[in-house]
A and B are shown apart, each in its own frame.
Chain A
């Protein structure tokens, strides 16, 4: 029997609001619609029933592509890494640390391959149509998140979170490209309606117009309607509702992830998840010393955790400590006779038998630095005088 956009291959009573029913013309199951959200990442790094990459959410006009996120393992096997869930053992500790490490290299390479292929697809798409800033942003953020996952040793919890973040961004970009290339033209009637239903997560809708558009695009959807509006629609069978607890991980992580959103499942929920995922890409001001606005040059001397007296030892050295670290390490490694180097550009490292000069500085940078400091000092003095 041919079904229309408001018919039901299966249908069920709404599990909370019993004067409503849920029907779908292109799926065999009914999922429970999300209620009020308490959004936070669970033990598997997903956001439980609030996660649009694993559970259908209400259709969003601001981000319509989210309903096109492919269903788990619906793509060729080469992309299966995008649904892979790291276990406790998928963590390679860095030398000397018990708690900082990476994902196994083989998994990172698989992710890298997937991201590269998707980036190429995005570039090709961008070359054929007017530039879409959202696709560009997704491509950059995906690459940046994966780079962070590959470059920085992190704690197990962060590795899991960043891995899920790569997967989420990848799935969203895939969905966005599918939406632009395949589904949107169908929704707008520019091409013939779909003959098959997409293997995608889908969404919940209440408006008839949205349901019609999704129907023609071939995107899975569940329409929620008042029972009083039921007239001549066809319902082929009545079924029970799948609850998140039946299929999703709902347990908290051992050190729980923070709560990032409370409210209805709407575009704000999606924004909260996206922003929280990108938070790790934004660096704290390293010279802030606890002050959100940062500190001014003359305040460096007074910064830091313990400053009983003002002397040269108490001067804060935001980056120079790295040099100091090495200097101390040199002493520790028993290279004898290390003179205190006066600046980091011309390190002299001596031993009992040899005296080596390590010239590492780039001439024009060194030359550019020395007079410039004097010049700036002069400029500042001048400006102070004039003011």
Chain B
């Protein structure tokens, strides 16, 4: 499976501070993932080579070979797990990028230090569940956590992570004008009201995402029990 091989490269690129970032079109991805041995003589082969460079130019320079890919079949469960991992990674990094765009910088007067991306990322990390033996890193996505945190089937288990997300959104544009800012919950709040709280947060998140990126946000997902 191509994805399991390029996954590490993608994560490496996602988490790097490379100065150049280029978005790929669907056609670019189709070519990259076509799985054929690249042929420099054809346009597709040449494009695939250039995409391999684009994915990891430094790595290619240093001898990382994207083309020694041993393809294999995978089970339905593996498919689900991979899909969940992709979704989770996408959601996390979309949240990180949205936070940069949506921050209302007027709220940070006299506390500019808190605008630092490292400080903001600390807040974002609190939105996700990490096992004690797991690195607390946005790219550390473990399928063992696919029913924990925001993906827990129990709303009361999701609440701490929803509150963390709300804390992140607290300094976003228009948060204080949205009705989610006026919602209050406590330990005795009924489940139905907690679900309404979650819905309001989800709505504000997806609205904000659409506002800045012009398309639907990727949202947290869960996995059925194995």
Contact = CB atoms under 8 A, between A and B. Distances in A.
Mutual binders A and B: yes
B211 A380 contact: yes
Nearest to B2: A329
A329 B3 contact: yes
Contacts of B11: 152-153
B79 to A, nearest CB: 6
Given A288-B21, A322-B10, A360-B83, A376 B211 contact: yes
A147 B25 contact: no
A191 interface: no
Given A286-B21, A319-B90, A141 B118 contact: yes
A250 interface: no
B218 to A, nearest CB: 6
Given A157-B62, A332-B71, A307 B212 contact: no
Given A312-B26, A360-B222, A285 B97 contact: yes
A283 B135 contact: no
B70 to A, nearest CB: 7
A173 to B, nearest CB: 16
Contacts of A369: 202-203, 206, 216-217, 219
A279 B20 contact: no
Nearest to B98: A287
Given A284-B19, A349-B79, 6 more contacts: A152-B11, A306-B25, A317-B24, A319-B90, A332-B1, A366-B219
Given A152-B15, A332-B2, A368 B202 contact: yes
A75 interface: no
A140 B122 contact: yes
Interface of B: 1-6, 8-12, 14-30, 33-35, 47, 50, 54, 58-59, 62-65, 68-74, 76, 79-80, 82-84, 86-87, 89-90, 93-94, 96-97, 100-101, 117-118, 121-122, 135-137, 139-140, 150-151, 195, 198-207, 210-224
B219 A358 contact: no
B93 A286 contact: yes
A378 to B, nearest CB: 11
- Assign chain A's interface to a size class: 35 or more
B89 A322 contact: yes
B23 A289 contact: yes
A100 to B, nearest CB: 6
A62 interface: no
User: Main SS of the interface on chain B?
Assistant: helix
A283 B99 CA distance: 12
Interface of A: 94, 96-100, 140-141, 143-144, 146-148, 150-157, 255, 278-290, 294, 296-298, 300, 303-307, 312-326, 328-330, 332-335, 343-345, 347, 349, 356, 358-362, 364-369, 371-373, 375-377, 380
Given A290-B21, A328-B2, A376-B210, A143 B136 contact: yes
B24 A147 contact: no
A151 B35 contact: no
Contact of B221 (A140, A296, A360): A360
Given A153-B11, A289-B22, A344-B87, A281 B118 contact: yes
A155 B58 contact: yes
Contacts of B9: 97, 100
A99 B64 contact: yes
A305 B18 CA distance: 16
Identify the interface centre among B90, B151, B223: most chain A CB within 10 Å of its CB.
B90
A239 to B, nearest CB: 44
B220 A362 contact: yes
B35 A332 contact: yes
Contacts of A288: 21
Contact of A362 (B24, B47, B72, B221): B221
A164 to B, nearest CB: 17
Given A284-B16, A284-B17, A305 B22 contact: yes
A365 B87 CA distance: 13
Given A326-B86, A376-B211, A362 B222 contact: yes
Nearest to B211: A376
A100 B22 contact: no
B137 A148 contact: yes
* Interface pairs A-B: 10 shortest CB-CB: A297-B214, A368-B202, A99-B64, A316-B23, A151-B137, A147-B135, A319-B90, A360-B221, A151-B135, A322-B86
A364 B195 contact: yes
A98 B18 contact: no
B36 to A, nearest CB: 10
Contacts of A99: 59, 62-65
A233 B211 CA distance: 73
Given A147-B135, A151-B140, A284-B17, A98 B63 contact: yes
Contacts of B73: 333-334
A159 B97 CA distance: 25
A147 B1 contact: no
Contacts of B217: 369
A279 B116 CA distance: 12
Nearest to A294: B101
B59 A100 contact: yes
A150 B74 contact: no
A182 to B, nearest CB: 28
Contacts of B16: 280, 283-284
A53 to B, nearest CB: 21
A97 B210 contact: no
A281 B4 CA distance: 24
A144 B118 contact: yes
B221 A345 contact: yes
Contact of B83 (A286, A289, A303, A326): A326
A319 B221 contact: no
